[in-house]
Structure 1
Amino acid sequence: MFAMRNVPFLLLVLTQLLRAGSALDNGLALTPPMGWMSWQRFRCITDCDTFPDECISEKLFRRSADLLVSEGYADVGYEYVIIDDCWLEWNRDNKTNKLVPDRKRFPRGLNVLADHIHAKGLKFGLYQDFGTKTCAGYPGVIDHMALDAETFANWDVDYVKLDGCYANVSDMATGYPEFGRLLNETGRPMVYSCSWPAYQSGSEQPLFEALKRHCNLWRNWADIQDSFQSVMTIADYFANNQDSMQPHAGPGHWNDPDMLILGNYGLSYDQSKLQMAIWAVLAAPLIMSNDLAKVRPEIKEILQNRDVIAVNQDPLGIQGLASTNRT
């Protein structure tokens, strides 16, 4: 029998194990997340006077949430409305050090927007960066990770995308898990999308076992662009590296080839079908980035094809394997 003097030590060990396991499985993203994100289509447009319908603003995300519902996307599973970069003021609050949404473009803050998205039966996602700055130069989470995690919870965020610009790649193996742990400690369920391996590509082998423990999904490679060449370059990367990547995908932890660009300018009808098919077979997150008000009916039909979506959302979560003999 254990002596009673060992009990405090055992409690400490159990506490540390539970704490370490808190990032292992938050019970989220048991199938690949589906939704809409601003970046590929709207980038960092902040001039609302010149581009009132395209600038990164409360108006854009309210409208996109409304269209996800009214155009039938929500009915087939698209549920996340995700703000990407450029939503911030250039500086943190000088008294609290908290992140501040741009006061002109998000004049009512983010809680009002989150309430609108949630009232539609959807979920709210938000971008940040592990480095000193976001990729567009706004404040990152370094030195403020606990504060930012709590702020996201207070803003009723459901999904966090953490980029890796202006950061040391050597710090990511500790930094990304730490931020995931802090998100979990808020008590609010938040899907955690990591960009960690995208910054490792070409320099070192991604640490897939760590990614599975600490992230719900992770960007594997370069940003997608609005072209068929970009789609196929990413598809080739996944095919050429599938032996190392494929075994690690599954419920709660997914490889992410980046956004669906269907409905923009770069893909033909047949190319649109091909991207949707490849992403479905890869068990990839289906995160659209387009102007939902301008998606043509035939492209909307592809995006809402229930049979293709069913392949992607199979609860077994097995990422398909590609033939490497494509010419």
Structure 2
Amino acid sequence: MLVSILLFTSLSTLVIALDNGLALTPTMGWRNWERFRCEVDCETYPNDCIGERLFMDMADAIVASGFKDAGYQYVLLDDCWPAPHRDSSGRLQADPKRFPHGIKALADYIHSKGLKFGIYEDFGKKTCAGYIGSEFYLQTDAQTFADWGADLVFFDHCNAAAKDMKYGFPIMEFFLNKTGRPMIFTCPWPMDNRIQHIKPDFPAIRKTCNMWRIYNDIEDSWDSVIGIINWWSKDWYNMSAYHGPGGWNNPDMIVVGNFGLSPDQEKVHFGMWCIFAAPLLLANDLRSINNRSKALLLNKRLLAINQDPLGIQGKPIQMGDVQVWTKPILPKGSKAVAVVYTVQGGNFIRVKYPLEFYGLDAGEYHLTEVFEGHDLGQHNKSSVISFTVNPTGIYMFTAKPVN
């Protein structure tokens, strides 16, 4: 690592900022981790193990089920893919039983579907699941990923010294850029800072990474989802100021279509990730997803909020049992509004606020309910907007100025 640090020091004047022209809107795609974890028994579970068949199936499903047309582009291969040892040239190689044709062939297949390929590695000696890491091999691994045709690299932080993070991630980004292949770079640098109780250097993080994990891994449960939402409301070290085209705070994957959330809770989860302008990385089984969850993930009005070119992270204007969040969107002067009722159990509540409560106090606005697309008509700042919200549910609308 010392050699890499010295190399980075000598080249640091050349690396002014991360300006790779990528991730100008939040990245959309599919990632295997939360649903499939590190299942490597392909003999017992041939359809669900971390092997080439799973990722080819998901690429097929993304295309066939309309997800590609909706903007979901990336297929991300997470942890547990490497063989136990590097090859004779020191290059990473895939587990030969689970990836018999190699990673290059898998990337080629995904590209043949008009999709993009992402891969996982770790800054430390080992990955989080205990597989071989990239420490001392950053340049070799960056070139390997480029040679394989990767379009995104997720670089984790397990089994590495916290003091090396501020060197290691910029070094890896330098080597990725040096390959000449455009690759989104995603890292958990501020997440490690939070764990270590270190103030994050968000300007440096944004110069280095296209998106970055900050908080805990998501689980398939309401407690996990609402926990992330509540934490996001704190705007830790003003993290929203560094969020926008080219660099994104990442609250982790989308678990809609799995086992742990009710229909209303799925709406909260996906709706709030759209309010956050968060990366939308699905962690589910697209081969068997139910029609209700599928329709939610393909909702054009929600995706338009998430992919709004302004890229502004929504913020709360009220917390408590009834949370109110707003997000500026285009055209200028417009907002997306989300009202979340966090209470579990009991009856729905009726929400009645004048439009100016949401910060909409200039002239007339045309309102549209987001989930079903109901036209709510034209209103001014004094108009009282009334609607119901179910327990652990959400109501969303957009307000656009009337010229």
Q: Bin the TM-score by the shorter chain.
A: over 0.9
Alignment of 1:149-298 (within 5 A): 149-202=142-195, 203-241=197-235, 244-298=238-292
Tell me the amino acid that sits aligned with residue 272 of structure 2: I
The answer to whether the 8 Å contact 1:224/1:258 transfers is yes
**1:51 counterpart = 2:45:** yes
Tell me the amino acid that sits aligned with residue 233 of structure 2: A
| TM-fit CA distance, 1:18 | 6.9
Write the distance in 2 (CA, Å) between the matches of 1:26 and 1:47.
38
- Residue in 1 that maps onto 2:30: 36
Seen in structure 2, the aligned counterparts of structure 1 residues 269 and 105 have a Cα distance that, compared at 3 Å, is same
Within the candidate set 11, 15, 21, 1:27 is matched to: 21
SS of 2:75's equivalent in the other structure is strand
Write the distance in 2 (CA, Å) between the matches of 1:302 and 1:152.
33
| TM-fit CA distance, 1:242 | 5.0
**1:113 counterpart = 2:106:** yes
| TM-fit CA distance, 1:323 | 3.3
Tell me the amino acid that sits aligned with residue 21 of structure 2: G
Tell me the amino acid that sits aligned with residue 15 of structure 2: A
Tell me the amino acid that sits aligned with residue 19 of structure 1: L
The answer to whether the 8 Å contact 1:130/1:142 transfers is yes
Q: How many residues align?
A: 311
String of CA shifts for 1:27-55, please: whole Å, max 9, x gaps. 00000000000000000000001111000
Q: State which structure, 1 or 2, has the greater radius of gyration over its C-alpha atoms.
A: 2
Within the candidate set 82, 90, 96, 1:88 is matched to: 82
Write the distance in 2 (CA, Å) between the matches of 1:159 and 1:71.
23
String of CA shifts for 1:199-232, please: whole Å, max 9, x gaps. 1114112211111101000001111011111011
- Residue in 1 that maps onto 2:297: 303
**1:66 counterpart = 2:66:** no
| TM-fit CA distance, 1:169 | 1.1
- Residue in 1 that maps onto 2:314: 320
Write the distance in 2 (CA, Å) between the matches of 1:237 and 1:180.
28
| TM-fit CA distance, 1:17 | 7.3
Write the distance in 2 (CA, Å) between the matches of 1:205 and 1:321.
21
Moved over 4 A (4+): 15-18
String of CA shifts for 1:273-296, please: whole Å, max 9, x gaps. 111110001010000000101110
Gaps in structure 2 of 5+ consecutive residues = 1-9, 322-403
String of CA shifts for 1:107-152, please: whole Å, max 9, x gaps. 0101111111111110000000111100011111110000000000
Higher relative contact order (CA 8 A, sep 6+): 1
SS of 1:143's equivalent in the other structure is coil
The answer to whether the 8 Å contact 1:199/1:221 transfers is no
State the TM-score, normalized to the length of structure 1: 0.93
Gaps in structure 1 of 5+ consecutive residues = 1-14
Write the distance in 2 (CA, Å) between the matches of 1:206 and 1:229.
26
State the TM-score, normalized to the length of structure 2: 0.76
- Residue in 1 that maps onto 2:388: none
**1:142 counterpart = 2:135:** yes
**1:97 counterpart = 2:76:** no
- As a proportion of its length, which structure holds more strand? 2
